């Protein structure tokens, strides 16, 4: 079997591949364009990349024998995962290899900010001796606000505690029991902003987190706060940060990641002495590069020789025959997970996945993992995959329970997902219609519905009165929003109805404002599946 290593990977990882007699390993010595790659991949079974080489749809189409792409690192932005899935190619990454290196860089940034080390270094090398200009502040007894307590955020918290810092953390997905075990105080975002002397972010880049640290947020912070971003560029609005530093609201910042990498020549923060900048060094240690190289090599070996899948971002660990049987449930399960995640509170203690009818005879683990993948997507971003979803759930203190039910229902096979936080329960159930196994959501909040689990769902509670459906349709049409389908269920004549619309696009704010004025409509929610 042929393996093509496209980017610089640690020699230890390459050696693991080369010492297997079953493999012929080719290592490219410089970056190749898409056109240059096409003739090189025609007969390879595995491709190894870091962040430089792009494995596009064209590359995969040219690689007719390709079985697996291994990414030595966390992100897979340079791999067309959809194209890989369509062609049956497994995409693996190495999410744990750079945890310590990024945590240590973050804490190094904190110390450098506190003591102005880079600025003092530049000054003395220029022949100056200006001690008064570099008076710093101690970390001891200061409050560190951590936004996101995943693997890296937790490691940063441990180091801060050793330095005598008070750790105040925001993570809406972390169970209280888990934070108590870590001896970390959970708080709401505004509390973190108001009480922290230093703030560091460790969250994925999503539509919710892009630009979340902006001018209005910085105005809520302590005057003289210091900010660190070693996570993803764009979480902190860079223009707003420059303005906040100029005004004195923010005393300094340390950045390892940027909205545009490398930053443009006119990047305002570059000229500010209060800002420390490094060129995306989170994983740039010998140990981290060795770890991810070994990890990706071991994963590829295990997959090609034994069929085992580690850290897959697009498929579960299943043989072909079983995969064909459970594939419809994987899709339905992920959609149910996404649905309840967007309807339930962010912090939950328990998720219960119930299998009924014919679903009882199927292996539940891959389906449960699909549900968890959909449910944890907003919390964990790109880190979540079929392999690590259970460990991610445990790290959040989320108890996962599977039930095989013998209860008789109106359906031959069904899947039900319920999320619980205290006494509040949000649930949804699904099944399939017809010989083509078309998925449907048939239960929501314990009420019967008929919803296609795709696209944009518009949910609301309304009084059961004549004309309300027509009013909704007219309002949507006025704002050029097309309704694909509708499900409506009432508890009694003239009582309360649950209405769900499948829309072709997200309704504009004007629609929501108009609906908010109707006293007969409440609990309006938009869910993206």
Rounded distance, CA 344 to CA 337, Å?
Answer: 10
CATH of residue 25's domain is 3.40.50.720
Compute the CA torsion angle 317, 318, 320, 321 (nearest 10 deg).
-170
User: Does residue 324 carry a pLDDT above 80?
Assistant: no
User: Does residue 173 carry a pLDDT above 90?
Assistant: no
C-beta of residue 207 within 8 angstroms of C-beta of residue 223 = no
Same structural domain, 116 and 251: yes
Residue 319: per-residue pLDDT = 57
Domain boundary (394, 429, 453) is at: 453
Q: Max CA-CA distance within the chain?
A: 85
Residue 411: per-residue pLDDT = 86
Rounded distance, CA 463 to CA 33, Å?
Answer: 60
The residues that bridge with 439 in the sheet, in sequence order, are 432
Q: Which helix (H) or strand (E) element contains residue 368?
A: helix 364-380
Q: How many CB atoms lie within 10 A of CB 125?
A: 8
pLDDT level of residue 383 (50, 70, 90 thresholds): low
Q: What is the domain count for the chain?
A: 4
Contacts of 259 (CB under 8 A, 6+ apart): 233, 234, 238
Query: Which single residue is written with the structure tokens 């801060």?
Result: 160
Q: How many CB atoms lie within 10 A of CB 81?
A: 16
Between 251 and 86, residue with greater pLDDT: 251
Residue 424: per-residue pLDDT = 82
Same structural domain, 257 and 196: yes
Residue 322: per-residue pLDDT = 73
Rounded distance, CA 401 to CA 419, Å?
Answer: 10
Rounded distance, CA 40 to CA 19, Å?
Answer: 22
Here the contacts of 470-473 (C-beta below 8 Å, separation 24 or greater) are 471/518, 472/499, 472/501, 472/515
Distances in Å between the Cα of 419 and the Cα atoms of 340, 389, 456 are 7, 16, 21
Same structural domain, 113 and 258: yes
Q: How many CB atoms lie within 10 A of CB 274?
A: 18
- Looking at the annotation, which residues are catalytic? 232, 261, 280
C-beta of residue 65 within 8 angstroms of C-beta of residue 88 = no
What's the average model confidence in pLDDT over 485-501? 90
> Which of helix, strand or coil describes residue 238?
helix
Same structural domain, 135 and 250: yes
What's the average model confidence in pLDDT over 343-364? 90
Same structural domain, 339 and 437: yes
Written as six digits, the tokens of 328 are: 């419809």
Same structural domain, 107 and 236: yes
Rounded distance, CA 235 to CA 251, Å?
Answer: 18
Rounded to the nearest integer, the mean pLDDT of the chain is: 91
pLDDT per residue as tens digits for the range 407-436: 887 888 899 999 988 778 899 999 999 878
Same structural domain, 183 and 330: no
The residues that bridge with 440 in the sheet, in sequence order, are 431
172-200: b or e for each residue (b if 16 or more CB lie within 10 Å)? Answer: ebbbeebbeebebebbeeeebbeebbbbb
Rounded distance, CA 323 to CA 159, Å?
Answer: 43
pLDDT per residue as tens digits for the range 217-247: 999 999 999 999 999 999 999 999 999 999 9
Q: Is 33 exposed, middle or buried (0-12, 13-18, 19+ CB in 10 A)?
A: exposed
Written as six digits, the tokens of 435 are: 């010989």
CATH of residue 492's domain is 3.30.70.260
Between 331 and 174, residue with greater pLDDT: 331
C-beta of residue 500 within 8 angstroms of C-beta of residue 444 = yes
Distances in Å between the Cα of 33 and the Cα atoms of 54, 56, 83, 166, 369 are 8, 11, 18, 49, 36
373-384: b or e for each residue (b if 16 or more CB lie within 10 Å)? Answer: bbbbbbbbbbbb
pLDDT per residue as tens digits for the range 5-64: 999 999 999 999 999 999 999 999 888 999 999 999 999 999 999 888 999 999 999 999
In the chain, pLDDT over 70 holds for what percent of residues?
A: 98
> Which of helix, strand or coil describes residue 69?
strand
Contacts of 61 (CB under 8 A, 6+ apart): 83, 87
Written as six digits, the tokens of 191 are: 């509390």
The residues that bridge with 433 in the sheet, in sequence order, are 438
Q: What is the residue range of 41's domain?
A: 1-96+283-315
Residue 307: per-residue pLDDT = 75
As a whole number of Å, the end-to-end CA separation of the chain is 39
Q: How many residues does the chain have?
A: 529
Same structural domain, 462 and 324: no
Q: How many CB atoms lie within 10 A of CB 440?
A: 19
Domain boundary (434, 453, 472) is at: 453
Same structural domain, 478 and 424: no
pLDDT-wise least confident of 35-44, 256-265, 307-316, 447-456: 307-316
Same structural domain, 445 and 497: no
Same structural domain, 79 and 181: no
Same structural domain, 118 and 252: yes
Domain boundary (315, 333, 362) is at: 315
Distances in Å between the Cα of 189 and the Cα atoms of 145, 224, 432 are 9, 18, 41
Residue 190: per-residue pLDDT = 94
CATH of residue 401's domain is 3.30.1330.90
- Angle in degrees, 0-180, between the axes of helices 286-306 and 99-115, rounded to the nearest 10: 160
Q: How many CB atoms lie within 10 A of CB 257?
A: 20
Residue 342: per-residue pLDDT = 93
Rounded distance, CA 159 to CA 182, Å?
Answer: 12
In the chain, pLDDT over 90 holds for what percent of residues?
A: 68
Model confidence, pTM? 0.70
């Amino acid at each position: 079997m042929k393996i093509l290593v496209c980017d610089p990977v640690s020699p230890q990882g390459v050696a693991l591949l080369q010492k297997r007699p079953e493999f012929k390993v080719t290592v490219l010595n410089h970056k190749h364009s898409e056109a240059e790659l096409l003739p090189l991949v025609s007969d390879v079974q595995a491709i190894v990349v870091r962040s430089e080489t792009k494995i596009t749809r064209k590359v995969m189409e040219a690689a007719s024998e390709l079985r697996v792409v291994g990414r030595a690192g966390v992100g897979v932005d340079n791999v067309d995962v959809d194209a890989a899935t369509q062609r049956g190619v497994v995409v693996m990454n190495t999410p744990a290899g750079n945890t310590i290196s990024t945590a240590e860089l973050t804490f190094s940034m904190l110390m450098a900010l506190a003591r102005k080390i880079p600025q003092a270094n530049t000054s003395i090398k220029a022949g100056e001796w200006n001690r008064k200009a570099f008076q710093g502040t101690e970390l001891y007894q200061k409050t560190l606000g951590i936004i996101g307590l995943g693997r890296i955020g937790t490691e940063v918290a441990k180091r801060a505690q050793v330095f005598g810092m008070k750790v105040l953390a925001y993570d809406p997905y972390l169970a209280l029991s888990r934070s108590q075990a870590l001896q970390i105080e959970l708080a709401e975002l505004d509390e973190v902003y108001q009480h922290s002397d230093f703030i560091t972010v460790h969250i994925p880049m999503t539509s919710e987190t892009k630009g979340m640290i902006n001018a209005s947020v910085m105005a809520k912070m302590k005057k003289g706060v210091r900010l660190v971003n070693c996570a993803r560029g764009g979480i902190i609005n860079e223009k707003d940060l420059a303005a906040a530093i100029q005004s004195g609201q923010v005393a300094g910042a340390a950045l390892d990641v940027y909205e545009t990498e490398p930053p443009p020549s006119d990047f305002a923060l570059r000229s500010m002495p209060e800002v420390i900048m490094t060129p995306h060094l989170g994983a740039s240690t010998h140990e981290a590069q060795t770890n991810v190289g070994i990890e990706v090599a071991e994963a590829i070996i295990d997959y090609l020789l034994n069929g085992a899948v580690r850290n897959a971002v697009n498929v579960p660990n299943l043989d072909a025959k079983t995969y064909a049987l459970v594939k419809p449930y994987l899709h339905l399960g992920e959609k149910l997970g996404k649905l309840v995640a967007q309807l339930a509170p962010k912090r939950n203690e328990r998720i219960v996945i119930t299998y009924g009818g014919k679903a009882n005879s199927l292996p539940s683990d891959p389906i449960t993992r699909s549900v968890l993948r959909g449910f944890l997507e907003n919390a964990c971003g790109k880190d979540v995959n079929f392999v690590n979803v259970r460990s991610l759930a445990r790290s959040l203190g989320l108890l996962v329970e599977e039930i095989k039910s013998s209860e008789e229902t109106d359906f031959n096979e069904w899947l039900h997902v319920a999320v619980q936080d205290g006494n509040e329960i949000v649930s949804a159930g699904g099944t399939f219609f017809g010989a083509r196994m078309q998925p449907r959501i048939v239960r929501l909040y314990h009420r019967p519905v008929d919803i296609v689990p795709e696209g944009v769902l518009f949910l609301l509670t309304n009084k059961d009165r004549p004309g309300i459906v027509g009013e909704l349709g007219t309002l949507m049409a006025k704002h050029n929003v097309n309704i694909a389908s509708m499900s409506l269920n009432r508890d009694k004549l003239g009582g309360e109805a649950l209405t769900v619309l499948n829309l072709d696009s997200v309704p504009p704010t004007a629609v929501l404002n108009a609906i908010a004025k109707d006293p007969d409509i409440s609990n309006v929610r938009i869910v993206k599946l």
